Structure 1
Amino acid sequence: MGYRVVVVGATGNVGREMLNILAERQFPADEVAAVASSRSTGNRIDFGESGKELTVRNIEHFDFTGWDMALFAAGSGPTKTYAPKAAEQGCTVIDNSSLYRMDPDVPLIVPEVNPEAIDGYKAKNIIANPNCSTAQMVVALKPLHDAAGIKRVVVSTYQSVSGAGKEGMDELFEQTRAVFVGDPKENRKFTKQIAFNVIPHIDVFLGPDSGLDGYTKEEWKMTAETQKILDPDIKLTATCVRVPVFVGHSEAINIEFERPLSVKQAQAILREAPGVMLIDKREDGGYITPIECVGDYATFISRVRKDPTVENGLALWCVSDNLRKGAALNAVQIAELLGRRHLKKA
């Protein structure tokens, strides 16, 4: 006997990836429903490689009663309207938006990092999926924190346009084409040209009343979510940058520890860490780049080295498919964890 699973926002980048991963991992589902806005109602959408298709249902009329889990990939607006409805009807919500991440009654989960926190989901029957850039980073930080205690993290991200949805991917494609054929380049999704450029601005800027004047909301998310998931005492500062890459987020991470941790010790720890793949050769090409991580489940770590500017410091390079570990895969892993710990089927 399997689960009845709903994917809300099934026609978007992340929703489609959720369906792909449910099929790839052979999630024990007796029934899967693809749900989206009225604009997509009646469309057919692929589910797995067997040629199976699902008919998209209208979120406005969908009854969540009798469904076990709903994976939301619909953004904060629709989630605010429909997630509480699903939860009240007995369907556990796993939400990919930012809406519930900092709610003290909603667990924020990365299964490799804080699986035990999922036990608090019954307060609202909702579980939050972290920000894509946070998710891959804490997978790398967790085993190192356990070994030597992390005091401070300085991270610069290089985030692909797929993190901004289909509109971001379309804009990069259209602007790149425009550069080569000499057409005008329009900025619709991003504040500046993204083709052949980098933009040090993701999400809105925070004001002086926030205590983080000059930072963006994306940068604040990385700090707040890391502290909620991993350790509230960790200090973290981030600079988040959009880069002209279609899929795959990269991060340059500098870590200061409470206790000494050598490069070789860190490499040995990361080599055995769940969800981590260490590719770290001191040679040309002995590291992972975004294009190589696309379609993979792992969080890749390369270029582990000593940071000589602090007493106990390391620097490393972290790359992952943001549509997978940063969003869809993590949500499916949460669903698997929820099933194992709380919603066991006979």
Structure 2
Amino acid sequence: MKKVNVAVVGATGMVGRTFLKVLEERQFPIENVYFFSSKKSAGSTITFAGKNYVVEELTETAFDGKNIQIALFSAGGATSEKFAPIAASKGIIVVDNSAQWRMDPDVPLIVPEVNPEAIKEIKKGIIANPNCSTIQAMVPLKPLYEKYGLKRIVFSTYQAVSGSGVRGVKDLEDGIAGKPNQFYPHPIAFNCLPHIDVFMDNGYTKEEMKMINETKKIFNDDSIKVTATTVRVPVRGAHSESINVEFNKPFELEDVVEAIKNTEGVVLVDNPAKDEYPLAVDAEGHDEVFVGRIRRDFSVDNGINLWVVADNIRKGAATNAVQIAELLVKNDLV
């Protein structure tokens, strides 16, 4: 791969720092790298690939004169709304981790193992990274969509507190220590909250609607019926999901297992006789999506159940974004 100049926006946050770790681990071909943050964190020092860098404040002119080709954004929707178009206007391709651009029809929404062809549909200079819970579900569902078609999907998620950032992690740690919660509306320690993001007028939360809408966009198929219930659980890292799927075609269970097993980015952990199935503690720190508890749903025709676990900060955010950047380089789009 040719080397490129890269910017990381939101470099001091939880996902931003994971960007750095993933870029190093995957040996992304970087010529020069620049780190940006809010005024509050600007001036701090970041160590990357053995060198120290001073974090710059993100301003309208911050990208000037640097010949940046790819910018990885993880600084929230308001920041992306303002600064992603500014970066794009300077010839930079933005890979944005917020929800701001995901449903824009002119912005591709990409999971590299699922719809890499969408990388060539860039119209605004912006690519959206899907929601963390959506990303991990799409990877094992892709081969099943191609083989059998997806009639209906029911997502039930059990999402780690790290999905809320440092405030969510602190609420869990404080709760375990017997201190009152400061961030979540109810205690998260020893508890489950069926409430992620704000409630919408239709009774769903914004997180649930993200999964519904993003699934259809990634597969480019509005015919799929999708519903979701998303729950915050007292787990530090890695989201777990129960996925119930109804296919358009009949299937043999062993064929489904084989298709999932042979999917790029998937690790099959499915041996109930030995109590082997995906666990959040095992997925944390890894880039793969772990799948198990694969079984037929006898309540409907052509239905199955899956248990899917992945690190929400890595595959659910930073790693997926870096993989998108790799696609840009591989396809000579930068």
**Into which bin does the TM-score normalised by the smaller protein fall?**
over 0.9
Q: Secondary structure at the match of 1:142?
A: helix
Note the alpha carbon deviations across 1:176-205, whole angstroms, 9 max, x for none.
Answer: 112xxxxx413x221110011000000111
Judged with a 3 Å threshold, the aligned counterparts in structure 2 of structure 1 residues 273 and 44 are, in CA distance, closer, same or farther, namely same
In structure 1, distance between residues paired with 2:265 and 2:142: 11
Counterpart AA for 2:192: V
Aligned residue among 168, 183, 192 for 2:186: 192
Matches within 5 A, 1:168-183: 168-178=168-178
What do you get for the CA RMSD once the two structures are aligned?
A: 1.2
Counterpart AA for 2:278: I
1:220 lines up with 2:214 in the alignment: no
Q: TM-score, normalised by structure 1?
A: 0.93
Residue 105 (structure 2) aligns with: 104
Counterpart AA for 1:45: I
The list of structure 1 runs, each at least 4 consecutive aligned residues, that deviate by more than 6 angstroms after superposition, is: none
Note the alpha carbon deviations across 1:140-173, whole angstroms, 9 max, x for none.
Answer: 1101111111100011000001111111111111
Matches within 5 A, 1:203-282: 203-207=197-201, 213-230=202-219, 231-282=221-272
In structure 2, distance between residues paired with 1:255 and 1:63: 45
Matches within 5 A, 1:278-317: 278-317=268-307
1:129 lines up with 2:123 in the alignment: no
Q: TM-score, normalised by structure 2?
A: 0.96
Is the CA contact (8 Å cut-off) linking 1:64 and 1:90 kept in structure 2?
A: no
Is the CA contact (8 Å cut-off) linking 1:132 and 1:326 kept in structure 2?
A: yes
Judged with a 3 Å threshold, the aligned counterparts in structure 2 of structure 1 residues 46 and 285 are, in CA distance, closer, same or farther, namely farther
1:59 lines up with 2:53 in the alignment: no
Shift of 1:109: 0.5
- Percent identity at matched positions? 49
1:338 lines up with 2:323 in the alignment: no
Residue 92 (structure 1) aligns with: 93
Residue 210 (structure 1) aligns with: none
In structure 2, distance between residues paired with 1:111 and 1:218: 22
Residue 153 (structure 1) aligns with: 153
In structure 2, distance between residues paired with 1:250 and 1:54: 36
* Uncovered stretches (5+) of structure 2, i.e. residues with no partner: none
In structure 2, distance between residues paired with 1:141 and 1:332: 21
Shift of 1:260: 1.2
Shift of 1:267: 0.8
Equivalent residue pairs, number: 330
Shift of 1:46: 2.9
Counterpart AA for 2:287: Y
